[in-house]
A and B are shown apart, each in its own frame.
Chain A
Amino acid sequence: MSLSNSSLRELENHNAFIGRHIGPREPDKREMLRTLGLTSMKELIAKVVPASILEDEPLDIAVSCTEQQVLQHLRKLADENKVYKSFIGMGYYGTYTPPVILRNVLENPAWYTAYTPYQPEISQGRLEAILNFQTMISDLTGLDIANSSLLDEGTAAAEAMALCRRMSKSKSNTFFVSKLCHPQTIEVIRTRALPMGYRILVGDHRTDLDGVDLFGLLLQYPGTDGEIHDYQQVVSTAHDMKALVAVAADLLSLTLLKPPAEFGADIAIGTTQRFGVPMGYGGPHAAYMATRDSFKRSLPGRIVGVSIDSRGDPAYRLAMQTREQHIRREKATSNICTAQVLLAVMASMYAVYHGPEGLKSIALRVHRLTSMLAEGLQQLGFTITTKQFFDTIFVDTGGRTEQLHESARARGMNLREVDGDSIGISLDETSSSDDVIALWSVFGGDNLDPEVIEAAAGVRIPAGFIRTTPFLMHKVFHRHRSETAMLRYLRMLSDKDLALDRAMIPLGSCTMKLNATAEMIPVTWPEFCDIHPYAPLEQAEGYNKLIGELEQMLCAVTGYAAVSLQPNAGSQGEFAGLLAISGYHRSRGEEHRNICLIPSSAHGTNPASAQMAGMKVVVVSCDGEGNIDLGDLKSKAQKHSDDLAAIMITYPSTHGVFEENVREVCQVVHQYGGQVYIDGANLNAMVGLCYPGRFGGDVSHLNLHKTFSIPHGGGGPGIGPIGVREHLMPFLPGYPQRTAKEGAVGPVSASPWGSAGILPISWAYIKMMGRDGLLEATCSAILNANYIAHRLHEHYPVLYTGPNGMVAHECIIDLRPIKEATGVTVEDVAKRLIDFGFHSPTMSFPVAGTLMIEPTESESREELDRFCDAMICIREEIRAVELGTLDGEDNPLRNAPHTISDLTQELWKHNYSREQAVYPVSSLRAGKYWSPVGRIDNVYGDRNLVCSCPALSEYEELPNE
């Protein structure tokens, strides 16, 4: 008998990764299919996906490769990037990520695989980290309240404009943008102002404000040319005309400079990139926004607040969600959904690591080197046009601009290209005196003595601008100075949270699939991290190739003709997609088309985006099966045929079903002159089976952080590229500061390829899964969802199914009848799941009083069973409440989650045992997640809003960490 009959090809196992990504083994899949009464995956798919859209042809993607092959391939691409020292500035700076943060946050799945903290009890660690972030921002800017991050400085500036419009009492329609703002910021603002009908006036704040009427202004501090201006006067002029003032402020400079609040700014925005987050060819980074307390209801994005838990102990939660798009829809303050939590956590930890004195010392060093640079260049006979500066100077080149750039590049340095007469130079945390010496030699100075120059170079920040207010006084910024302390602080926080590294996160619509380690490894390679977004294109060959290939693979997956990777969140993809539609209508002389049809089941971001794109939302109703009501659609499309712009549909629907009539829906809208936007939130159910670009979609956004394995990061980063059919290609977002592509639509992000730094993740995912793996992932996700629906339907009604009684990749279970009969709410079930060690499914979306479960393909049958067993066990507890064997109020559901403090109280006052409270199933004895806090009181937090670290006295009462 021979040892093996396998061929070498088989033994090489190029498909190895597919089985690593997908949870159920082959025998499991057969058994699960048998449970559903099916014999093959093909049979399953035929029952789930309408024949009218199902395609047979294999995906036009190469076959899979192994983890090692993909890492080698990425290594080669990385080597094609040339890492020059960047002195470009413009809001992107070199920074050192403290290694303890690099490894224990950025490279740690406990942080990067977590979800947005909608379930606060299991998110206390990252909520504390975000609260630190808000405290840091509020301290440095001097303003009352900060949000938990925005996407980038450009979009934060656009959000500031919108905030000015909401809060200003001025009737004016004009927003002034200082010409000293970063150029990409000005471009993003123009893009965002256009659909809102705001007029943008770009000019000099000293000379161009006479006789104009404004609702708001944006100033840069220090200016993009480095100059520190006194804005006191312009702020008071603005306030006199009832205009509000937003200031884009550099965070590091604020450790030395007077904070914006002290010269009267109403809003401060900016990036926190230089607080330890790599440039990454443009992103992802966390932007910030802070404002006055009285404007808090209009502050966009998420805000963490402090409340109390069931025992009265302090606990964190997301506050003021009533502002947000998932509640307020088109009335929301913004369409922002995903923020940049992982990066905000990094930036806040950078402040925890360095503390105020460490940050100030970095800032002083940067300033000293910049002053020396300027002094040396002056001695060499160059004119420094920036007079008062922090870290940036503009140099008059005397006509030698191109020659100087070449000379710098020959030394491996990039300077900022300003115009023919001047060059910009920005220093940063990574700059050294050697760099300054090298820069002098670029300008012809080989014999300058740094010590002499240092003695001559004074402080170039005028006395009146020097910061006197202390910052980061809270003890969290003082007590973790040794690496041991820092390491343990990070571990203590992440241990409080439930992320994918502990258990399944069955959140419907959120697609919490595996974020494979091999996909994550290249993200922190310097060749991907340390490239400035505006470095010369030829230095980013590796990136450019990777971007081109990813665009092409995404076209293959969606059936679209072109893809833009610029939008750095799903919400921004929606906005970009709607802009493409408006641009198309405008190009045909039909700019009056502004009605956007949106089914009632849509995610709240859809109407919020439509509103931002200047469209009017008309809601289309759904029928009893949860499908778009064709009759209602036809009558509304017809009624608005003269001004119909678009429909936004989600496919498979937010109800978790492949609607049979999707082709007809698209046809009806096209017939009346509208374009079809297919929200790609659920694309993971279609990959390899059907193609939105072929069954009627004109444009879609995809969530790379759902379908293509980018981790959720605890609430960001996300990437929301859009795919379009050929006729919309001219209306893809333009590239800021890149002349390569001038379009009819402006840029939506501050950098050309948005969050380029994490694109290697999706690239690696697609390469390792290959044609067959991607299809298998889709089928397995559908199988897993149907298996759960099948196991649970006897215990909880499954709300919507397709005509064959099947769901797509997720299912909604209805708890409304249970609430009616027993008083047990969806919240009770969600919190009780924590006692079983699970993150809750999505609550009350898209239907209030329901849970939406999405297992994804990555969960094994064992984990699915563990989850179903927990749900069934909870159903038995509900039955006990119904039968009266458990008390209607004092029961393990209402009191969930149970903490160790609950368990160890001297007197157990409940009508059920301690064991039932914490070990409802015996397997938990072998390993259990303990919620660090009891159920959080939302109402208390609502009535006592606190959005920065609790006052020291309150902290003292907490048990010693």
Chain B
Amino acid sequence: MNKYLVITVIGADRPGLVELLARTLVAHNANWLESRMANLAGRFAGMVEADVPEENFERLIEALEKLQSEGLKVMVDSGLSEPDASSFREIQLELIGQDRVGIVQEISAALAQHGVSIDKLHTESESASMSGEILFRATADLRVPKDLDIEKLQQGLEVLADELMVDIHLEKQPLD
């Protein structure tokens, strides 16, 4: 019987961090299921979804905690059951509008209100072609309740600003 866990790691970025983490998992026969990693302003953060044979679980936790000495802060969520895929569907969101303070917070609040969870969120701001105004762009992979009215979600986002253009793809497409 395998135990399911989600590991969150944070630390100053340096080469070999992912390898270190992977080595620790392999050493305990843990299975690396899925992960998200990012480096932002020299800080490294990662989340790994894994499962591990029940008998190795305690030792794995200990080993992960020891990584603290290598400069990695580790948090482990265990005892979770795997998410129930049947009640959700995956969609993609693309959004462009005027950048302003608080826009990410407003968007995530609007998503939460519709019971949507964010799998992946990529945001950037850039100077708009021709007018030079600062635009906010976001692309996101979302998990939404199966019965969610997509149009309502779109409207819920669009009311955040008059110039917000929201595209929702129901089919999963590779993000750029």
| Given known contacts A322-B96, A826-B132, A942 and B162 CB-to-CB distance under 8 angstroms | yes
Query: Is B41 an interface position by the 8 A CB rule?
Result: no
| A residues in contact with B134, CB < 8 Å | 827, 938
List 9 A-B pairs, Cβ < 8 Å: A118-B131, A326-B129, A604-B129, A825-B132, A827-B134, A843-B130, A845-B130, A846-B129, A942-B97
Query: Is B108 an interface position by the 8 A CB rule?
Result: no
| A residues in contact with B126, CB < 8 Å | 844, 848-849
Asked if residues A849 and B165 are in contact (CB atoms below 8 Å), the reply is: no
Identify the closest chain A residue to B125 (Cβ): A848
Residue picked from A297, A320, A321, A322, most chain B C-beta under 10 Å: A322
Query: Is B158 an interface position by the 8 A CB rule?
Result: yes
Q: Of A296, A830, A939, A942, which is within 8 A of B132 by CB?
A: A830
Asked if residues B162 and A296 are in contact (CB atoms below 8 Å), the reply is: yes
B-binding residues in A (CB < 8 A)? 116, 118-119, 296-297, 318-323, 326-328, 331, 604, 825-827, 830, 840, 842-846, 848-849, 938-939, 942-945
- Least CB distance from B59 to A in Å reads 46
Identify the closest chain A residue to B99 (Cβ): A939
Produce 1/0 per residue, B154-167, CB < 8 A to A: 00001001111101
| Given known contacts A297-B165, A327-B135, A331-B167, A939 and B98 CB-to-CB distance under 8 angstroms | yes
Asked if residues B131 and A843 are in contact (CB atoms below 8 Å), the reply is: yes
- Least CB distance from A732 to B in Å reads 31
| A residues in contact with B131, CB < 8 Å | 118-119, 318, 321, 843, 938
For the complex, what is the distance from the CA of A844 to the CA of B130, rounded to whole Å?
6
Produce 1/0 per residue, B36-77, CB < 8 A to A: 000000000000000000000000000000000000000000
For the complex, what is the distance from the CA of A331 to the CA of B130, rounded to whole Å?
18
Q: Of B96, B164, B167, which is within 8 A of A327 by CB?
A: B96
For the complex, what is the distance from the CA of A848 to the CA of B98, rounded to whole Å?
15
Query: Is B100 an interface position by the 8 A CB rule?
Result: yes
| A residues in contact with B167, CB < 8 Å | 331
| Given known contacts A939-B100, A942-B98, A826 and B127 CB-to-CB distance under 8 angstroms | yes
Asked if residues A321 and B127 are in contact (CB atoms below 8 Å), the reply is: no
Produce 1/0 per residue, B124-155, CB < 8 A to A: 00111111111100000000000000000000
Residue picked from A116, A323, A827, most chain B C-beta under 10 Å: A827
For the complex, what is the distance from the CA of A320 to the CA of B161, rounded to whole Å?
10
For the complex, what is the distance from the CA of A328 to the CA of B94, rounded to whole Å?
11
For the complex, what is the distance from the CA of A283 to the CA of B132, rounded to whole Å?
32
Asked if residues A322 and B165 are in contact (CB atoms below 8 Å), the reply is: yes
Asked if residues B162 and A328 are in contact (CB atoms below 8 Å), the reply is: no
Interface size class of B (residues with CB under 8 A): 20 to 34
- Least CB distance from B96 to A in Å reads 5
Q: Of B99, B100, B133, B162, which is within 8 A of A945 by CB?
A: B162
| A residues in contact with B164, CB < 8 Å | 322
| B residues in contact with A297, CB < 8 Å | 158, 165
| B residues in contact with A322, CB < 8 Å | 96-98, 135, 163-165
For the complex, what is the distance from the CA of A331 to the CA of B126, rounded to whole Å?
18
Q: Other than the known A118-B132, A322-B98, A944-B162, what 13 A-B pairs have Cβ atoms closer than 8 Å?
A: A296-B162, A320-B162, A321-B131, A327-B128, A327-B129, A825-B127, A826-B132, A843-B131, A844-B126, A844-B129, A848-B126, A942-B98, A942-B100
For the complex, what is the distance from the CA of A200 to the CA of B48, rounded to whole Å?
54
Asked if residues A943 and B158 are in contact (CB atoms below 8 Å), the reply is: no
For the complex, what is the distance from the CA of A547 to the CA of B162, rounded to whole Å?
45
Q: Of A116, A119, A826, A942, which is within 8 A of B161 by CB?
A: A942
Q: Which parts of B69-94 form the interface with A (CB within 8 Å)?
A: none
- Least CB distance from B140 to A in Å reads 16
Produce 1/0 per residue, B112-127, CB < 8 A to A: 0000000000000011
Asked if residues A938 and B127 are in contact (CB atoms below 8 Å), the reply is: no
Asked if residues A118 and B96 are in contact (CB atoms below 8 Å), the reply is: no
Asked if residues A843 and B127 are in contact (CB atoms below 8 Å), the reply is: yes
Identify the closest chain B residue to A845 (Cβ): B129
For the complex, what is the distance from the CA of A942 to the CA of B128, rounded to whole Å?
14
Residue picked from B128, B132, B161, most chain A C-beta under 10 Å: B132
For the complex, what is the distance from the CA of A297 to the CA of B165, rounded to whole Å?
7
| B residues in contact with A849, CB < 8 Å | 126-127
Identify the closest chain B residue to A936 (Cβ): B133
Identify the closest chain A residue to B158 (Cβ): A297
Asked if residues A827 and B127 are in contact (CB atoms below 8 Å), the reply is: yes
- Least CB distance from B135 to A in Å reads 7
| Given known contacts A319-B163, A943-B162, A938 and B98 CB-to-CB distance under 8 angstroms | yes
A-binding residues in B (CB < 8 A)? 96-100, 126-135, 158, 161-165, 167
Asked if residues B96 and A844 are in contact (CB atoms below 8 Å), the reply is: no
| A residues in contact with B100, CB < 8 Å | 939, 942
| B residues in contact with A827, CB < 8 Å | 127, 132-134
| Given known contacts A322-B96, A327-B96, A942 and B130 CB-to-CB distance under 8 angstroms | no
Identify the closest chain B residue to A323 (Cβ): B165
| A residues in contact with B130, CB < 8 Å | 116, 118, 321, 326, 842-845
- Least CB distance from A80 to B in Å reads 42
Identify the closest chain B residue to A816 (Cβ): B127
| A residues in contact with B97, CB < 8 Å | 322, 942
| A residues in contact with B127, CB < 8 Å | 825-827, 843-844, 848-849
| A residues in contact with B96, CB < 8 Å | 322, 327-328
Identify the closest chain B residue to A846 (Cβ): B129
For the complex, what is the distance from the CA of A774 to the CA of B165, rounded to whole Å?
44
- Least CB distance from A931 to B in Å reads 15
- Least CB distance from B154 to A in Å reads 10
- Least CB distance from A877 to B in Å reads 18
| A residues in contact with B129, CB < 8 Å | 326-327, 604, 843-846, 848
Asked if residues B132 and A321 are in contact (CB atoms below 8 Å), the reply is: no
Identify the closest chain B residue to A509 (Cβ): B130
Please provide the 5 A-B residue pairs with the shortest distance between their CB atoms, ordered closest to farther.
A843-B132, A945-B162, A844-B127, A942-B98, A845-B129
For the complex, what is the distance from the CA of A116 to the CA of B165, rounded to whole Å?
23
- Least CB distance from A603 to B in Å reads 9
For the complex, what is the distance from the CA of A939 to the CA of B134, rounded to whole Å?
9
| A residues in contact with B98, CB < 8 Å | 322, 938-939, 942
For the complex, what is the distance from the CA of A116 to the CA of B131, rounded to whole Å?
10
For the complex, what is the distance from the CA of A331 to the CA of B139, rounded to whole Å?
15
- Least CB distance from A273 to B in Å reads 28
For the complex, what is the distance from the CA of A848 to the CA of B25, rounded to whole Å?
42
- Least CB distance from A227 to B in Å reads 39
- Least CB distance from A245 to B in Å reads 21
- Least CB distance from A893 to B in Å reads 13
| A residues in contact with B162, CB < 8 Å | 296, 319-320, 942-945
Asked if residues B128 and A943 are in contact (CB atoms below 8 Å), the reply is: no
Asked if residues A942 and B163 are in contact (CB atoms below 8 Å), the reply is: yes
Asked if residues A321 and B128 are in contact (CB atoms below 8 Å), the reply is: yes
| A residues in contact with B133, CB < 8 Å | 321, 827, 938
- Least CB distance from A833 to B in Å reads 12
For the complex, what is the distance from the CA of A319 to the CA of B165, rounded to whole Å?
13
For the complex, what is the distance from the CA of A319 to the CA of B97, rounded to whole Å?
11
- Least CB distance from B58 to A in Å reads 48
For the complex, what is the distance from the CA of A319 to the CA of B163, rounded to whole Å?
8
- Least CB distance from B103 to A in Å reads 10
| B residues in contact with A944, CB < 8 Å | 162
Identify the closest chain B residue to A169 (Cβ): B151
Identify the closest chain A residue to B103 (Cβ): A939
- Least CB distance from A871 to B in Å reads 16
Residue picked from B97, B129, B158, B165, most chain A C-beta under 10 Å: B129
For the complex, what is the distance from the CA of A90 to the CA of B172, rounded to whole Å?
48
| B residues in contact with A319, CB < 8 Å | 162-163
- Least CB distance from B37 to A in Å reads 25
Identify the closest chain B residue to A850 (Cβ): B127
| A residues in contact with B99, CB < 8 Å | 939
Identify the closest chain A residue to B95 (Cβ): A322
- Least CB distance from A796 to B in Å reads 16
Identify the closest chain A residue to B166 (Cβ): A297
For the complex, what is the distance from the CA of A942 to the CA of B134, rounded to whole Å?
12
Asked if residues A844 and B132 are in contact (CB atoms below 8 Å), the reply is: yes
- Least CB distance from B133 to A in Å reads 4
